[in-house]
Amino acid sequence: MSHLNLNPQSIAIVGASHTPGKVGYNTLRNILVSRYKGAVYPVNPKGGEILGLECYSSLLEIKNKIEMAVITTPAVLVPSVIADCAKKNVETAVVISSGFSEVGRPDLEKELLKVKGDVRIIGPNALGIKNPWGPLDAAFGPLDATFSYVMPKKGGIGLISQSGALLLGMAHLANEEAIGLSLIVSVGNKIDVDDADLIDYFNEDPHTKVIAIYLEQVNNGDRFMKAAKRSKKPIVAVKAGRSEAGLRATASHTGAMGGSDKIYDSAFRQAGIIRAFSVTELFDYANTLALMPKARNSRIGIVTNGGGLGITITDACESLGLEVPQPSPETLKRLRDLIPKEIKPGNPADLGGLANFSDCREAGKALIEDNKIGGVIMALVQTGLTKLEEYTSATIEVARRGKELGKPTIGCWMGGKQIRDLREILAESEVPIYPSVSRAAKVMAMLCSCYTK
């Protein structure tokens, strides 16, 4: 069997279209817009030229080696294209074409498997792949010029999704929250390449630190479990179709039978997979795992410039089984010089609304260096009394010290557009930040769980 190749040096787009808005046109355009550095070969029986490139009448007409074929032809033509891929020794075929088991035509999928030879097939009914490190955007969409083009930022999260449309939405969400991705793959009906294959692939990928999966069903439970158990990198997964109505929806979406949610829950625990229950949680958990060490214990330190925020995040942490203990006498002594006289030093360390860079940095370091404390949350409010850049720099320095000690630091910042704009700076310094108490507390609880990978 040929090697799965998601960073090809040459690509053929079979079904490339001369018509803007068609899937075959948009897919070719996206590859070119992404500044892909390899060779690109449009294939269309009509020949001619598309987007300035010579168009070939068939895959076999191309004399040079083709490492990946992206297929957008009607479903009934795909078997013959895959057969050509086998003759051409193409390593990976990404079948974007729909019209297979998701619409009651599993027979066409069987035809693909009969003729594929050593070709690895992604799909059918897939969105495609996006590789920020390539760079390569071998995915279709948007289909209308009014929609914005999206290429993920470079990062350490390898993202697998059975839903193409949701994958595109997740790419937008990741960019909005300054989260970097290593590679995103839409698996579609996954008749050949499945989650287990991609877990193995991401484990060898130098850019991937964490594997994130949106899952509707597993085709081969044994292979999936073995791949997850041998994974050297953490895996976070959202299993869709938890309810009876959700199971019906998965069947109509990709022709999948979702299976009992209790079975998946048990399997995830056995395989060491961290379960998320929404796309937001998926990114929150994966992003923090990519950037921060796990907590050494469940005792959390909190630094805040707003008493109310400190109280609410303490409640949120305690409700999830975390502790917010009083610091050691040595730490309390360090905090005494930083906290306004009218406020009693403790944990949370309430620095008051006038807290500056030095106050935040020294309070954070005092808590992160306390042997009692397993991790620190920098919970800051946009008061308008101190420049937000001071909080940013202080949080970065506390996080740097925490990494030296093997302890996580995360931010929980509440405010407006100015705070959102500073997420880019924190992301560049590999510090995760969350805009709500519940999200920050859940992330810290995840880092304090029995995660052992």
C-alpha span between 234 and 274 (Å, rounded): 8
Three-class secondary structure of residue 306 per DSSP:
coil
Q: Identify which of 62, 161, 71, 57 has the alpha carbon closest to the alpha carbon of residue 108.
A: 71
Look at residue 422 in the predicted model and tell me its pLDDT. Answer: 80
CB distance 155 to 182 below 8 Å: yes
Sorted by where each starts, the structural domains of the chain and their CATH numbers stand as 1-125 (3.40.50.720), 152-291 (3.40.50.261), 300-447 (3.40.50.261)
Task: Report the alpha-carbon distance of residue 315 to residue 374 in Å, rounded.
Answer: 17
By C-alpha distance, which of 412, 396, 408, 313 is closest to 367? 408
End-to-end CA gap in the chain: 30
Query: Taking each helix axis from N to C terminus, what angle separates 221-230 and 195-204, rounded to the nearest 10 degrees?
Result: 20
**Residue 289's closest CA among 358, 381, 211, 364?**
211
The two tokens of residue 238 are 């959202």
Closest Cα to residue 96, out of 173, 27, 44, 49?
A: 27
pLDDT the model gives residue 246 = 44
What is the mean pLDDT, run by run of 10 residues, along the chain of 453 residues? 87 95 93 95 94 96 97 97 97 96 94 97 95 94 59 94 87 89 95 96 97 92 95 94 52 48 89 94 96 94 93 96 96 92 90 91 97 95 78 94 97 79 84 93 90 39
| Residue 259: predicted pLDDT | 57
Cα distances (angstroms) measured from residue 109 to each of 99, 100, 196, 221: 10, 6, 19, 20
Distance CA 373, CA 328 (A): 9
pLDDT at 332: 95
What are the CA-CA distances from residue 351 to residues 303, 307, 373, 435, 444 (Å)?
7, 8, 19, 20, 22
From 440, 420, 429, select the one nearest 376 (Cα to Cα): 440
Tokens of 382: 């946009």
Q: What's the pTM?
A: 0.90
